[in-house]
Structures are given as C-alpha cells and as structure tokens.
Amino acid sequence: AQSVAQPEDQVNVAEGNPLTVKCTYSVSGNPYLFWYVQYPNRGLQFLLKYITGDNLVKGSYGFEAEFNKSQTSFHLKKPSALVSDSALYFCAARAPSGGYQKVTFGTGTKLQVIP
Amino acid sequence: DSGVTQTPKHLITATGQRVTLRCSPRSGDLSVYWYQQSLDQGLQFLIQYYNGEERAKGNILERFSAQQFPDLHSELNLSSLELGDSALYFCASSVRGAGTAEAFFGQGTRLTVV
C-alpha cells in the first residue's frame, strides 16, 4: 500500500530564513507528487506538483519542491519565509495508474513563521 | 478562490439526524471527490463521482451516501449522525478522473454533531 510521511508535526522558522517541510513517500512506480497548503478555516490550496521531468518544481507563492527518487522524498522549500506562510502543509502522492482518487495525503505539517 | 463552492460552511446538528452537504465543482470539471478531515485521522477519501456516475469508493460509511447530478453538482448525505462524525468535509474537483491533473478543493463544511 502506498503511503506518505511528513515526519515533522510542526516546523518553526524565523521570517526571512529559508524553510523546508519534509515529505517522503512509498508508491509503486514513478510517483505523482503534490503539495497543498491549508490556511485556518479554509480548504486545501494547490501549490505544486511533480509528474515527470526536472526534479526541481516551482509553484505558487515562491515555493518549490525537490524530487529525489533515490531518497523517495519530495521536500517543500522556500528561500525566504514570510509570516503569511504560516499554515498547514500537506504532501500527497499517487501511482501513475488510476486517478486522483488514489492520492494518499500525509498527516500535515504546521509551519510557524516567527516575526 | 479555487472555484469549488461548498455549502453550508458550518452545520450543527444532533445525533441521529441527517444532513446534506452540497458541492459545486469548478466550471468544466467532471470529477468530484469528497473527503473527511478529522484531527485524529487526517484527510480521508470518501467517494468520487465522474460525470454523474460513481467512480471510486474510499473509507465511506454505509450511513453516508453521495450523488452527482446532471449539472455536475454533488451532494453528500450523512445519516444517523454520531458524535464521531464531527469533522470538516471537503469537496474537490478535477477535469477528469484520471491523468495527471491535480484536484481543487472547496473551503469545506464544518459539521458539528452534538
């Protein structure tokens, strides 16, 4: 069975510092990988996805993620954190076969950016 | 704004009751997914509809059902409600049921069962 792990429940970072939110996955074959952000009392907002190609994927709001096949990781990064980036971040993955209903979500990482 | 609309935003009801949650997908999206988000179980896939037909079932209880109408909006019906059904229910939509497309989520309906 496929799985997604977000090993940190919470990440604290100072404003202006680089941030990393970690994600590892277990998926058969070449994975489709996604990052979403959830602000309080809001739905999940799509940030970026990796399907194939360049291992560094750029997304919304200055976020990027690096796909590392050997480490089965897809860490979310941003060079300079903003207080407004404080939110809950979800990593998700699925195998190429099937559709979006087969996406597995991680448990989420709360990002706190400290002014 | 994702383009996915869910109503109502909040719902408070008593145990044993039945409620209906409504979702309007993004314009042009044929596939609708329902998820339950609770503190202890994270985001759980419930069910998917594609162009009016049930496509996939996840961890959906027998007390729950859904349908997608000809205009592509979808409803999730929850009956014989229990305290443990209190959660945030999300609807998401995508263009197709397969392929590489991501899904876009509505703002959710927060259900509180008292």
Residues of B in contact with A103 (CB under 8 A): 45, 103
**CB of B103 within 8 Å of any CB in chain A?**
yes
A46-80 tens-digit pLDDT: 999 999 889 999 999 999 999 999 999 999 999 99
- Give residue B97's pLDDT band: very low, low, confident or very high (50, 70, 90): low
Residues of A in contact with B58 (CB under 8 A): 101
Question: A with B: how many residue pairs have Cβ under 8 Å apart?
Answer: 66
Say what the pLDDT of residue B108 is: 94
Say what the pLDDT of residue A40 is: 84
Say what the pLDDT of residue A98 is: 72
**CB of A39 within 8 Å of any CB in chain B?**
no
Q: Give the three-class secondary structure for A61.
A: helix
